Amino acid sequence: MADSADSHASDATQAVYERASMDTRVGYGSDPVLVVVDLQVGFTDPENPLGGDLTGVIERTNDLLDAAHASDVPVVFTRIVSTHPDHADFGIWQEKIPRLDTLTAGSKWVDIDERLSLENGDHVLDKRQASAFHETELGSMLVAWGVDTVVVTGCTTSGCIRATVVDACAHGYRTVVPGEAVGDRAPEPHESNVFDMDAKYADVRPTDEVAEYLSGTLE
């Protein structure tokens, strides 16, 4: 378990999880994809009620983007966008979090943050729920590309990162979370979800190591 994930839980909790074999590493596969979740202005600009300061996450995600671009690893940027009247595509979620109404097609809040090193061949994928796999083309694109490992960065750890990671594992992918390249509005939900993901669905690893992996130089 990554140190950062480990330090969150009490000794008693850790003992329970180790007994349940929830301290196992899955490891890296041979064909990765980098999925950058929801680093759109609505979440990276603190002026939006849903937003926060994610400067550090953006910087570390750029390190991973550089590694992926250099070795031709496919890159997918996701963003939450509503394109339907009355935000019908958000469904009940819109009733649960009314400020999702800011994330409407055409609004500045749906643009990918321009500090990110997005290149021409990268993919931008619109989603409408927390998981990047839910009712989107991500699943079939990964199959057609022959991907076996999904690296997930972006925000928020307790929302769309967590949901995407659970689905990536459920779909049959080795799933990796670079610990410093995911972030949240508040430290507590961030830490508890890093712990959960690392115990049950993904390997949480140091971002430098994941960058080496993506660049093909990890030994």
CB contact at 8 A, 211 and 69: no
Only one residue has tokens 């996701």, namely 78
- Active-site annotation holds for 169: no
* Residue 91 makes contact with a copy of itself by CB under 8 A: yes
* Residue 219 makes contact with a copy of itself by CB under 8 A: no
Task: Give the shortest CB-210-to-a copy of itself separation in angstroms.
Answer: 17
CB contact at 8 A, 56 and 180: yes
* Residue 6 makes contact with a copy of itself by CB under 8 A: no
Partners of 174 in the beta sheet?
149
Give the separation between CA 196 and CA 165, rounded to whole angstroms.
11
Q: Which of residues 110-169 bind a copy of itself (CB under 8 A)?
A: 120-126, 128-131, 134-146, 148, 158-159, 162-163, 166-167, 169
Q: Which two tokens stand for residue 116?
A: 């990110």
* Residue 9 makes contact with a copy of itself by CB under 8 A: yes
Site mask for a copy of itself (CB under 8 A), range 178-207, x = bound: -------xxxxx--xx-xx---xxx-----
Q: Which of residues 64-83 bind a copy of itself (CB under 8 A)?
A: 83
Cα-Cα-Cα-Cα dihedral sign, residues 197, 202, 203, 205 = negative
Burial class (CB in 10 A: 0-12, 13-18, 19+), 167: buried
Task: Give the shortest CB-110-to-a copy of itself separation in angstroms.
Answer: 14
* Residue 106 makes contact with a copy of itself by CB under 8 A: no
Task: Give the shortest CB-175-to-a copy of itself separation in angstroms.
Answer: 7
Give the separation between CA 45 and CA 53, rounded to whole angstroms.
7
Q: How many residues lie near a copy of itself (CB under 8 A)?
A: 79
Give the separation between CA 18 and CA 69, rounded to whole angstroms.
37
Q: Which of residues 37-56 bind a copy of itself (CB under 8 A)?
A: 49-50, 52
Task: Give the shortest CB-165-to-a copy of itself separation in angstroms.
Answer: 10
- In a 13 Å sphere around the CA of 175, the CA atoms on its Cβ side amount to 23
Give the separation between CA 32 and CA 40, rounded to whole angstroms.
23
Q: Which of 9, 54, 160, 204 is catalytic?
A: 160
Residue 56 vs 172, nearer CB to a copy of itself:
172
Catalytic sites, residue numbers: 160
